[in-house]
């Protein structure tokens, strides 16, 4: 996830300088990415305009201070805050990116899937690339199209046809003063139209100081803004946007949460996109194949992480057993000393950490490396410490997560780890290309599956209120196999934000002790993954016989479950089921917290990234 913005102002309006408006927008976009920032300004003198680009690795304020951006003047400019996906954070990889002649500047949010083949084609035509980003192809491609005789608008129409993947683009062309071109597919883009100023941006809060009249740009639309104007096109035809203007009355704070009351809720709802972008990124990423090769050749495979990331390693273990028949030895990273005497050369450790900075996980990695093991990292932060010390890094593409509780980063870890396990299955000869293709198809369904959050939200809220009315202070979350791992993650969410005791374990284990706790009305929630229905039903009956209130959050095949309360998420196989099941479980924790008056974004005693032992 990155943030893009473009502002253009009519001469003589609002102090005659768009730079303060641009920088304010950039500051508000920083939550979308903060490893680098940059701006491009169109500066016109004596009837001719040129572009000036200022960009660097670092936070927005550092980049502003480094170049004294707040002292510059221009009527038209672009800005970008980066969350690296292709190429680590660096001055060169920061946006905006320029074409060879420095006449076209581009800022981008999203992933260009076919950038490698486009780059090859453009390099063969003599274009010289400066960065490792996917974005730079856009600048050179536009240069090529314009050189073939097209105007920028026509070139943009062609560009939209040529690009695969997701993009929100804002573009400055030196020869078109006062215009900012834009295009969008799947990544969000909004336009704000004021009296004598217009802007485009990745989100609404970064536009509210410019205008509250907002137009959402739709997929495959493109066009340009001028001061106080908007021109919108699709497939070469003009689109009438005037009926689409929405007056936004939100405060900036409300708007930065996308209209949701909390970041956690916004991030739960963002999961369809996060899951999709991670999958698209992985399918293009040679690191995934390299990591799978390393794992397939390993003497033994270990997996480690903390908290939610540890739970992701359990899902990895499950799929490695199913697809590759390769045992995975999982351990919580703070317990790494337990494994130091057994890990040795030839082993591979998979280290999972959304931040890539969790001290316990880094310590586990260093210890394993010191014993001669190789390390595959799975992380959400390009350039993080973990990515730097690992032998191979596979990235998730959830974008920054602001809520302390991990939600979208968990589901994106599952995408990466399931895919990795499938590739190992192929490398070891247990799966063929067709099998991997089917697994990828199921992962693709993850996007639609994760929409369960929106559909089921009112039902979950009701369930949370029923539980609280019943004075719930403690609950069990049970599942079998994959479902047991998801139950552990759901229990962690309930504990950390709703401050209720929630204990998870494999359902079959209930008879061996924990069931003694069950009394009349005690809530027991079953996570219903496909393939274990009948055995879970027996466990439900056992619980009911002791007076438990039995709840099922399951795929549709749990329709006959002997439960007091059933939430069915749709019909999914084992690969896609976690994406449908986890969002309602996260929502349950969320509503249990909010209904008790707790702030789910900032749970007590917790930090987003734990950099102490």
> So which residues are the catalytic ones?
2, 608
Q: Using CA atoms, how far apart are residues 50 and 120, in angstroms rounded to an integer?
A: 28
| Nearest-approach distance from CB 392 to ligand F6R, in angstroms | 18
Q: Using CA atoms, how far apart are residues 80 and 32, in angstroms rounded to an integer?
A: 10
| Nearest-approach distance from CB 40 to ligand F6R, in angstroms | 33
| Nearest-approach distance from CB 158 to ligand F6R, in angstroms | 42
* Nearest residue (CB) to ligand F6R, 113 versus 336: 336
The encoded tokens of residue 47 equal 């009837």
The encoded tokens of residue 53 equal 């680009």
Q: How many other C-beta atoms lie within 10 A of the C-beta of residue 451?
A: 17
User: Residue 265: helix, strand or coil by DSSP?
Assistant: helix
* Nearest residue (CB) to ligand F6R, 99 versus 601: 601
User: Residue 42: helix, strand or coil by DSSP?
Assistant: strand
Adjacent-strand bridge partners of 302: 329, 349
| Nearest-approach distance from CB 461 to ligand F6R, in angstroms | 20
Q: Using CA atoms, how far apart are residues 368 and 412, in angstroms rounded to an integer?
A: 25
Q: Using CA atoms, how far apart are residues 61 and 344, in angstroms rounded to an integer?
A: 45
* Nearest residue (CB) to ligand F6R, 307 versus 583: 307
Interacting residues with ligand F6R (CB under 6 A):
306-309, 353-355, 358, 361, 405-406, 492, 496, 609-610
Phi, psi of 4 (to 5 degrees): -120, 150
Q: Using CA atoms, how far apart are residues 564 and 555, in angstroms rounded to an integer?
A: 16
The encoded tokens of residue 372 equal 């001669």
Contact of 83 with 109, CB cutoff 8 Å: no
Q: Using CA atoms, how far apart are residues 332 and 395, in angstroms rounded to an integer?
A: 21
* Nearest residue (CB) to ligand F6R, 14 versus 610: 610
Adjacent-strand bridge partners of 197: 9
* Nearest residue (CB) to ligand F6R, 69 versus 386: 386
| Nearest-approach distance from CB 378 to ligand F6R, in angstroms | 9
Write a three-state SS string for 59-124: CHHHHHHHHCHHHCCCCEEEEEEECCCCCCCCCCCCCCEECCCCCEEEEEEEEECCHHHHHHHHHH
Q: Which helix (H) or strand (E) holds 323?
A: helix 307-324
* Nearest residue (CB) to ligand F6R, 361 versus 510: 361
**HSE-up (13 A, CA, CB side) for residue 46:** 0
Q: Which helix (H) or strand (E) holds 145?
A: helix 136-147
* Nearest residue (CB) to ligand F6R, 358 versus 472: 358
> What is the number of H-type helices and E-type strands within the chain?
18, 25
CA dist list (Å): 30 to 265, 279, 365: 19, 24, 30
| Nearest-approach distance from CB 312 to ligand F6R, in angstroms | 8
Residue nearest to ligand F6R (CB): 307
Contact of 163 with 185, CB cutoff 8 Å: yes
* Nearest residue (CB) to ligand F6R, 494 versus 536: 494
| Nearest-approach distance from CB 578 to ligand F6R, in angstroms | 16
């Amino acid at each position: 996830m990155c943030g893009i913005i473009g502002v253009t102002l009519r001469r003589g309006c609002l102090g005659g300088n768009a730079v303060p408006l641009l920088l304010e927008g950039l500051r508000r976009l920083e939550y979308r990415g903060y490893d680098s920032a940059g701006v491009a300004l169109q500066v016109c003198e004596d009837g001719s305009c040129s572009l000036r680009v200022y960009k660097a690795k670092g936070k927005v304020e550092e980049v502003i201070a480094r170049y004294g951006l707040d002292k510059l003047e221009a009527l038209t400019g672009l800005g970008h805050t980066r969350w690296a996906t292709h190429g680590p954070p660096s001055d060169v990889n920061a946006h905006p990116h320029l074409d060879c002649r420095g006449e076209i500047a581009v800022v981008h949010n999203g992933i260009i899937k076919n950038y490698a083949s486009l780059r090859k084609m453009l390099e063969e035509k003599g274009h010289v690339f400066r960065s490792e980003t996917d974005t730079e192809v856009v600048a050179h491609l536009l240069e090529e199209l314009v050189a073939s005789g097209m105007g920028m608008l026509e070139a943009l129409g062609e560009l939209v046809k040529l690009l695969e993947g997701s993009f929100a683009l804002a573009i400055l062309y030196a020869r078109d003063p006062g215009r900012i071109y834009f295009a969008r597919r799947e990544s969000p883009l909004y336009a704000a139209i004021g009296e004598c100023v217009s802007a485009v941006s990745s989100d609404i809060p970064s536009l509210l100081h410019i205008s509250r009249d907002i137009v959402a740009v739709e997929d495959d639309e493109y066009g340009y803004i001028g001061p106080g104007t908007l021109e919108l096109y699709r497939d070469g035809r003009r689109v009438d946007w005037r009926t689409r203007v929405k007056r936004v009355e939100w405060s900036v704070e409300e708007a930065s949460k996308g209209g949701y009351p909390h970041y956690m809720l916004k991030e739960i709802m963002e999961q369809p996109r996060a899951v999709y972008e991670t999958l698209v990124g992985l399918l293009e990423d040679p690191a995934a194949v390299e990591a799978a090769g390393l794992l397939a050749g390993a003497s033994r495979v270990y997996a480690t992480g903390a908290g939610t990331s540890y739970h992701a390693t359990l899902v990895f273990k499950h799929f490695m057993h199913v697809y590759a028949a390769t045992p995975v030895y999982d351990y919580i990273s703070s317990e790494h000393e337990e494994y130091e005497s057994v890990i040795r050369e030839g082993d591979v450790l998979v280290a999972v950490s959304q931040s890539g900075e969790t001290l316990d996980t880094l310590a586990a990695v260093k210890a394993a490396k010191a014993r001669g093991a190789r390390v595959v990292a799975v992380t959400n932060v390009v350039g993080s410490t973990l990515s730097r010390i690992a032998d191979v890094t596979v990235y998730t593409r959830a974008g920054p997560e602001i809520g302390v509780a991990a939600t979208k980063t968990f589901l994106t870890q599952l995408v990466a780890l399931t895919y990795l396990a499938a590739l190992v299955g192929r490398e070891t000869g247990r799966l063929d290309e067709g099998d991997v293709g089917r697994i990828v198809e199921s992962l693709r369904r993850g996007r639609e599956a994760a929409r369960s959050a929106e559909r089921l939200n009112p039902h979950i809220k009701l369930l949370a209120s029923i539980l609280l009315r019943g004075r719930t202070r403690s609950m069990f979350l049970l599942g079998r196999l994959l479902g047991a791992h998801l139950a552990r993650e759901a229990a962690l969410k309930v504990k950390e934000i709703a401050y209720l005791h929630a204990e998870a374990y494999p359902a079959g284990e209930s008879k061996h002790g924990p069931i003694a706790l069950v009394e009349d009305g005690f809530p027991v929630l079953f996570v219903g993954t496909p393939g274990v229905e009948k055995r879970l039903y027996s466990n439900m009956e056992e619980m009911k016989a002791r007076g438990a209130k039995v709840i099922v959050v399951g795929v549709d095949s749990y329709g006959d479950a002997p439960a007091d309360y059933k939430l069915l998420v749709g019909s999914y196989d084992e690969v896609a089921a976690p994406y449908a099941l986890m969002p309602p479980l996260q929502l349950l924790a969320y509503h249990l917290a909010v209904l008790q008056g707790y702030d789910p974004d900032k749970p007590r005693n917790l930090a987003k990234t734990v950099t102490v032992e």
